[in-house]
């Protein structure tokens, strides 16, 4: 991985972390820490994904940590739900990650708090975060340069 690829990955992780930190407001609303619950759901899914084949590290030698990827999905699901309130329906439960529904419910209940916390964030950017930049930055930069 060259310096430019590493920079792209690092910048993405920084933006994700910034948005994730600002979701701390979801931690003190009720007895449930909604941000961390959503994060743990995504972390479990990412671990399962990486454990699916023993060759994940072989194909993704520069992959970001499981936690960084889980934060990306946490932030992305919240942002997507802010932009499209009813993105998922009950029928979708069988074909999408449960964390997507959980994020949609969090937004449905606490949209005002999230919007206020993310007043300086680009919601469109966050909703379109590219997981591949975190796991295969060398491939993503090549695709962006070719486009």
pLDDT of residue 28: 83
Q: How many C-alpha atoms does 134 have within 13 Å on its Cβ side?
A: 20
CB 16 within 8 A of CB 77: no
pLDDT of residue 146: 53
Distances (CA, A) of 33 to 28, 40, 50: 7, 11, 26
pTM score, two decimals? 0.88
Q: CA triplet 52, 14, 22: central angle to 5 degrees?
A: 100
pLDDT of residue 145: 54
Q: Give me the residues of the chain with pLDDT under 50, please.
A: none
* Cα–Cα dist 2/6, whole Å: 6
> Per residue, what are the HEC states of 117-142?
HCCCCCHHHHHCCCHHHHHCHHHHHH
Q: How many C-alpha atoms does 42 have within 13 Å on its Cβ side?
A: 27
């Amino acid at each position: 991985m060259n310096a430019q690829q590493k920079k792209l990955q690092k910048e993405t992780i920084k933006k994700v972390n910034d948005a994730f930190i600002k979701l701390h407001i979801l931690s003190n609303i009720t007895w449930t820490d909604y941000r961390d619950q959503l994060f743990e759901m995504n972390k479990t899914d990412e671990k399962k994904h990486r454990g699916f084949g023993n060759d994940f590290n072989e194909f993704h030698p520069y992959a970001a940590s499981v936690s960084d990827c889980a934060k990306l999905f946490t932030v992305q699901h919240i942002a997507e739900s802010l932009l499209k309130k009813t993105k998922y329906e009950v029928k979708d439960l069988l074909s999408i990650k449960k964390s997507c529904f959980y994020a949609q419910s969090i937004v449905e209940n606490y949209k005002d708090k999230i919007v206020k916390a993310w007043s300086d964030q680009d919601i469109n950017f966050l909703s379109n975060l590219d997981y591949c930049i975190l796991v295969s930055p060398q491939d993503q930069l090549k695709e962006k340069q070719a486009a």
